[in-house]
Chain A
Amino acid sequence: MHVISASQLSVSTRTSDKQLKTLLREHFSSLPRRIDRLAWQSLLTAAPLTQHLVSSCGIYLAADYPSGDTMTGLLNSVCIQKLQPRPFEFVNSVSNAAGFYLAKQLDVQGPNLFISAGPQVWQQLLQLAYCDVQAKNCQQALLIVCRGNEQVQLQAVLVQNQHNQLLAADSFAQLSSGLTVTQLVLD
């Protein structure tokens, strides 16, 4: 496997969803509705990589926390106010919803996994993607890691098969070494 392109995004809670959507409109003619922060951020991180994407691409998304705004809304309304959850808030609380919106917006068909971002997250994402690429379940793999709860760092790489070898890397720096990384910092 080898890395085709890479991007990263740093975003604080001071940046509104509306600002994220404004930036996304520079990449996409239409945007999904009623999606949560994790999905907006993941889309914005993946957007610079779209020119290299083929439709046979798997999405492998990792985060260390669930989407904070969704969980806050749900827990307070259901457990404290004793209300029924709003349907879209509940559905978005399923963490792989972000992966669904990525696949839909990027128009890719392939495996779609959501995992937790533990200390070996890059190695794990590469292993899962390697399994699917070797099985010819997809030609490419889009790997995205979202770290942090308030100041959030997202990093993405697009990889494809090369010599049937698993990439031995355990950090974004290693994976993106020698590439021009698209970077966006939002404060």
Chain B
Amino acid sequence: MSCYLHSPVLHSCLGESLAEAVAAVHSNQAPHTQPFTLNERLLEIPYFALKQQRQPIEHLQRIIEELISHYQADFSDQLLIVASSSLDIMLHEQNTRTKASFSAADSTPLNRIANLLQQQYGFQTSLVINTACSSAANALLYGTYLIKHQLYAGVTILSYEPRSTIVQQGFAALELTSHSGLYRPFHPDSDGLILGEVYAAAMLSNEAKEHSLCRVLGGYSACDTTSVTGTCEDGSHIYAVIQQALNQAGCKAEDIDLVKLHGTATAANDRAERNGTLSFLQQANAPALCTLKQWLGHGLGACGLSETLLLSACLQQGLLPTPRHAYVTDTFALQHNPQWTQSDSLILANFFGFGGNNASLILQTTRQEN
């Protein structure tokens, strides 16, 4: 089981292209920040935002247009998977403000955007996956499965998290958001996460393409029923998911060159992930470790794709994303050396979310053809 991920498009707080995002990481350029105000407490909370604000549907149309113009993409034999935890939430927020109220009858179908894009661009069919922060990771995993079983010739994944008031207020109300603006996963003084607005797209296929970034070798996704807001802090569920992901990809722990941590920078989740992945650090040749949310913010349902794209593109250019804020953790030795010379590296990529959804993917970088 494996599929090539190609034709990447990324619009994020690091710019409106993947190349801009890679250049920003290379030059240690700060993400574009646009704080929001927490209701009632009137605190300014940092938020990593796109420079240009548009309606989500406009953004999604723009990235599909980029797929068409940059990669000559043809969607007629493609399954469109839309992966997001927010979907139409911004439309609902705008309508609520306009009408000064919201009722259940104002709801839109969860597949409204996917259906609209399917019709507009001629996709064979469409599917919406909403499993919180593992949404896009599940899109990559199940997209690969569906191609392997020859149920679809190819899969196009669109993942996005818009600048939603409900999401901003919700995470801040749960006291999970950073006030300092220093996004420092696994740091003993971390004060939480910074949300990030992001739109990403890429295509999965059986064959390597000119613009292939990496291969999805396998993975696993399962539900930890410990708590709806997080996983078991002893890391046992995360460990089990990683082991099954390795099995599915036909790999062993010692084969892994790099672990892309989920690294939310929230205390409970960092503790759980540290405990679940410690065995990797106890190997003779421990893999390198990296996190990406300090660059992109926490893109929630989209992070599975946006982080995979940014990491793969950086590695193709010999660059390992390092922490933006220099520090040494007492738990994880995050890489501070930005050089990455290995080709065909095997990567374990973790994505965990609300609703107990834990997913791990095994990826392999591909050589840059262009």
A65 interfacial contact with B, CB 8 Å: yes
Chain A nearest CB from B78 CB (Å) reads 15
Q: Pick the contact of B223 from A65, A103, A132 — CB < 8 Å? A: A103
Q: Are A78 and B169 CB-contacts (below 8 A) given A97-B354, A100-B356, A118-B127?
A: yes
Q: Tell me the B84-113 residues at the A interface (CB within 8 Å).
A: 85, 92-93, 96-97, 100-105, 107-111
Query: Nearest residue in A to B248 (C-beta to C-beta)?
Result: A135
Q: Are A91 and B228 CB-contacts (below 8 A) given A75-B96, A99-B355, A115-B127?
A: yes
A104 touches B225 (CB 8 A): yes
**Residues of A within 8 Å of B, CB-based: how many?**
58
Chain A nearest CB from B229 CB (Å) reads 6
B96 touches A124 (CB 8 A): no
Query: Nearest residue in A to B111 (C-beta to C-beta)?
Result: A116
Chain A nearest CB from B353 CB (Å) reads 8
Interface segment out of the listed A3-11, A45-53, A81-89, A154-162: A81-89
0/1 interface trace, chain B 122-157, chain A, CB 8 Å (1 if under):
000111111110000010001001100101000000
Interface segment out of the listed A14-22, A23-31, A105-113, A176-184: A105-113
B102 touches A72 (CB 8 A): yes
Query: Nearest residue in A to B300 (C-beta to C-beta)?
Result: A94
B165 interfacial contact with A, CB 8 Å: yes
A84 touches B128 (CB 8 A): no
Residues of B contacting A68 in the complex (Cβ-Cβ under 8 angstroms): 103-105, 107
| CA–CA, A124 and B82, complex, Å | 14
B174 interfacial contact with A, CB 8 Å: yes
B114 touches A116 (CB 8 A): yes
Residues of B contacting A132 in the complex (Cβ-Cβ under 8 angstroms): 145
A150 touches B104 (CB 8 A): yes
Query: Nearest residue in A to B358 (C-beta to C-beta)?
Result: A112
A150 touches B129 (CB 8 A): no
B40 interfacial contact with A, CB 8 Å: yes
B174 touches A111 (CB 8 A): no
Q: Are A87 and B173 CB-contacts (below 8 A) given A103-B356, A124-B127?
A: yes
Residues of A contacting B325 in the complex (Cβ-Cβ under 8 angstroms): none
Chain A nearest CB from B92 CB (Å) reads 6
B172 interfacial contact with A, CB 8 Å: yes
A63 interfacial contact with B, CB 8 Å: yes
Residues of A contacting B229 in the complex (Cβ-Cβ under 8 angstroms): 91
Residues of A contacting B166 in the complex (Cβ-Cβ under 8 angstroms): 74-75, 78-79, 85, 90, 93
B107 touches A71 (CB 8 A): yes
B222 touches A76 (CB 8 A): no
Chain B nearest CB from A118 CB (Å) reads 4
The 29 sampled A-B contact pairs (Cβ below 8 Å) are A64-B109, A65-B110, A68-B103, A71-B102, A71-B104, A75-B93, A75-B102, A79-B97, A82-B39, A82-B40, A84-B41, A86-B173, A100-B228, A103-B223, A104-B225, A110-B223, A112-B357, A113-B221, A115-B127, A116-B114, A118-B126, A118-B127, A118-B128, A127-B149, A131-B142, A131-B146, A135-B1, A149-B105, A149-B107
The 9 closest A-B pairs by CB, nearest first: A68-B104, A112-B223, A90-B170, A116-B110, A131-B145, A116-B128, A116-B111, A104-B225, A96-B355
Other A-B contacts than A80-B100, A124-B127, A150-B105, 6 sampled, CB-CB below 8 A, are A64-B109, A95-B130, A96-B355, A113-B142, A131-B142, A150-B104
